Amino acid sequence: MGTESRATYTGNDSLLRIEDLKMYFKEGKKYLKAVDGVTLEIEDGESLCLVGESGCGKSTLLKCVAGILKPTSGKIIFQGQDLTKLKGRKLLKARRKIQLIFQNPYASLDPRMKIIDIVAEPLRIQGVPKDERRKIAVETLREVGLPPGVENKYPHQLSGGMRQRVAIARALSVKPKLVLADEPTSALDVSVQAGILNLMKRLQRDYGLTYLFVTHDMGVVRYICERVAVMYLGKIAEVASKKQLFNSPLHPYTQALLNSVPIPDPSKRKRRPPLKGELPDPLNPPSGCRFHTRCPYATEKCGKEEPQLLPKNGRLVACHLVNQD
């Protein structure tokens, strides 16, 4: 199958299929619709980036898949099983194949636990005997490039980059299929970030991992992902292959996002007019297309009718303008 058809591909070998997922939070008398009807498919072995600005729902979506949040409605079908319907042992078994890496390696490791116990924790929860899980933990620590002796240290004795490697080792220890990463490098310095991104790329190749990668950094997207889903205020605006997205973004929001990113090359300096306006209040999202209040091409229809996520030139776009021609 060519890259052109990938964005819309709905074959049976999708590893994860999110169907009409909704996650609402009650705030006073209103509902914050953090994720509002998202449908997304991830193939076995690919890496998909979820991008968008703060409050777009990308991290919430990830937490629903990780099982930290219980979605309001919708399905999360992983290897043919709907995770929202599984319970007890079966859920635990399915969960083993999905692991999560957090944004802040300073907060995601228990300060009172030794590194080896942190890495072995998912194995302990899965009921692996102590000797075996310690052996696996040590092997995994070597695999992510941490030196011997790190096992018996505590998180505060390690640098940010090393801690994130520990978090990756923890996720890797149970041999997952799907790794969810929530801005795993945004708390790190660039020189350290490069090492982590390279490691994640190598691990994906070596272990055949599938990544669902949440980030706001378009540079990271371009480096690590094959396919990109752009979110805005709880909805998906565009799903496209990396090539399509960076060469010819279709949704006006995707265009604005790419246009806003500063390029580390002074010869490409451009004084582009930045996108106008603020992100709307997510408690009172705009009617119709949620982007219409900031969109330079918005028409009357955009304020009234909500655009559907429809296939267009081998990708999915939710925009009246793009979909009508």
Partner 1 sequence: MDGLIKMGEIKDYPSFLAGLIIVLAVVLTAMLAPLISPYDPIEQNMPHALQPPSAYHLLGTDPYGRDVLSRIIWGARVSLYVGLLSATIAMIVGVPFGALAGQLGGIADALLSRVIDIMLSFPGIILAIVVMSILGQSVDNTVLAISLAMIPRFARLARGEALQLSVQEYVQAAKASGAGNLDILVHHILPNILSPILVQYSLSIGSAIMIEAGLSFIGLGVQPPTPSWGEMLSLGRQYLYTAPWLSLFPGLAIMLTVLAFNLLGDGLRDMLDPRLKRV
Partner 2 sequence: MDTLLSVRNLKTYFRVKRGILRAVDNVSFDIKRGEVFCLVGESGCGKSITALSIMRLVPYPGEIVGGEILFDGVDLLKLPEEEMEKIRGKRIGMIFQDPHTSLDPSYTVGWQVEEAILLHRMIKKVSKLAVNLLKKVGIPAAEKRYREYPHQLSGGLKQRAMIGIAISNSPELLIADEPTTALDVTIQAQIVDLMLKLREENGISILLITHDMGLVAEACDRLAVMYAGKIVEKGSVEEIFSEPLHPYTKALLRCVPRPDKDVEKLVSIPGTVPEFPPASGCRFADRCPMTRKECFETTPEEVNMGNGHRVACHLYG
CB closer to partner 1 out of 8 and 79: 79
67 contact, one of partner 2, partner 1, none, CB 5-8 Å limit per kind: partner 1
Q: Does residue number 195 form part of the binding site for partner 2 (CB under 8 A)?
A: yes
Q: Does residue number 23 form part of the binding site for partner 1 (CB under 8 A)?
A: no
190 contact, one of partner 2, partner 1, none, CB 5-8 Å limit per kind: partner 2
Q: How many C-beta atoms lie closer than 10 Å to residue 60's C-beta?
A: 22
Give me the DSSP letters along 117-166.
Answer: HHHHHHHHHTT--HHHHHHHHHHHHHHTTPPTTGGGS-GGGS-HHHHHHH
- Answer whether 310's CB lies under 8 Å from 317's CB: yes
> In terms of Cα–Cα distance, which of 119, 97, 98 is closest to 110?
119
Q: How far apart are CA 109 and CA 164, in angstroms?
A: 9
Q: How far apart are CA 154 and CA 152, in angstroms?
A: 7
CB 196, min distance to partner 2, A? 8
Q: Which residues inside 95-114 make contact with partner 1, applying CB under 8 A?
A: 95-96, 98-100, 102-104, 107-113
Looking at residue 187, the DSSP 8-state letter turns out to be T
Q: Is the dihedral of CA 153, 160, 198, 69 positive or negative?
A: positive
Q: Which residues inside 169-208 make contact with partner 1, applying CB under 8 A?
A: 170, 174
Q: Which residues inside 136-155 make contact with partner 1, applying CB under 8 A?
A: 154
Per-residue exposure over 270-306, b if at least 16 CB sit within 10 Å of its own CB, e if not: eeeeebeeeebebeebbebbbbbbbbeebeeebeeee
14 contact, one of partner 2, partner 1, none, CB 5-8 Å limit per kind: none
Q: Does residue number 47 form part of the binding site for partner 1 (CB under 8 A)?
A: no
Q: Does residue number 66 form part of the binding site for partner 1 (CB under 8 A)?
A: yes
Place of tokens 């193939």: 43
Q: Which residues inside 124-183 make contact with partner 2, applying CB under 8 A?
A: 159, 161
- Answer whether 7's CB lies under 8 Å from 243's CB: no
97 contact, one of partner 1, partner 2, none, CB 5-8 Å limit per kind: none
122 contact, one of partner 2, partner 1, none, CB 5-8 Å limit per kind: partner 1
Q: Which residues pair with 227 in a beta bridge?
A: 48, 241
Give the 3-state secondary structure of residue 96.
helix
96 contact, one of partner 1, partner 2, none, CB 5-8 Å limit per kind: partner 1
Q: How far apart are CA 221 and CA 51, in angstroms?
A: 8
102 contact, one of partner 1, partner 2, none, CB 5-8 Å limit per kind: partner 1
CB closer to partner 1 out of 48 and 120: 120
CB closer to partner 1 out of 184 and 288: 184
226 contact, one of partner 1, partner 2, none, CB 5-8 Å limit per kind: none
Q: Is the dihedral of CA 164, 139, 200, 174 positive or negative?
A: negative
Residues at the contact surface with partner 2, assessed by CB under 8 A: 53-54, 159, 161, 189-195, 197-198, 216-224, 246, 256-269, 271-275, 277-279
The residues binding partner 1 (CB under 8 A) are: 63, 66-68, 91-92, 95-96, 98-100, 102-104, 107-113, 118, 121-122, 125-126, 154, 156, 167, 170, 174
